[in-house]
Amino acid sequence: MSSYNKVILMGNLTRDPEVRFTQNNLAICKIGLAVNRRWKDGTTGEWKEEPTFIDVTIFGKRGEAFAKYHQKGKPAFIEGSLRLDNWEDKEGNKRSKLYVVADEWQFVGGGREGEGGGGGGGGYSRAPQQQPQQQQQPQQSAPSYNEGGGADFLEADDTPF
């Protein structure tokens, strides 16, 4: 039987990233991420939120870059996998901890000037691509379907995922 271990999270940092280095100069960045679950209470009709606090570890250059551009309270998008550590504490009790090892991360949020966004913007923005001069022709605009209540169609390069 095959297995699959993939985690995708988006939340806010609960503390500033903490970076340490191994003897081999490998960066280990540890962060805390708060991810909210939002639901509507069936009896009162009120919206409620319940945070889940997740420890995340980012290794290497990705961890160093993450720490450079993120701080407590800022949003983050993380992709990675679950890991489980087992150990015995000082009293001999067996302990375990489930955490995420991040493989990738993206900027999220506004990224306004002066907020430490590092120019990251929304994370999915792309620089305009140069096209050869002879191929640039006026394009016909695609039909807009907003009149019928639907959304405009996105070009393949504009899809945010």
Could you tell me the residue ranges of all domains in the chain?
Answer: 1-114
Which residues on neighbouring strands pair with residue 35, listed in sequence order? 52
pLDDT one-digit tens code per residue, 43-71: 999 999 999 999 999 999 999 999 999 99
Tokens 């701080």 map to which residue? 71
pLDDT one-digit tens code per residue, 65-104: 999 999 999 999 999 999 999 999 999 999 999 999 999 9
CA 83 – CA 96 distance, rounded (Å): 10
Q: Is the per-residue pLDDT at 39 higher than 50? A: yes
Higher pLDDT, 60 or 145: 60
Dihedral angle computed from the Cα positions of residues 48, 52, 58 and 63, in that order, rounded to the nearest 10 degrees? 40
CA 148 – CA 150 distance, rounded (Å): 6
Q: Is the per-residue pLDDT at 134 higher than 80? A: no
Instruction: State the pTM of this model.
Output: 0.65
pLDDT value of residue 110: 67
Higher pLDDT, 123 or 106: 106
User: Which listed CATH number (2.40.50.100, 2.40.50.140, 3.40.50.300, 3.40.50.10140) goes with 1-114?
Assistant: 2.40.50.140
CA 10 – CA 33 distance, rounded (Å): 8
Q: Is the per-residue pLDDT at 29 higher than 90? A: yes
Q: Is the per-residue pLDDT at 130 higher than 50? A: no
Neighbours of 80 (CB within 10 A): 20
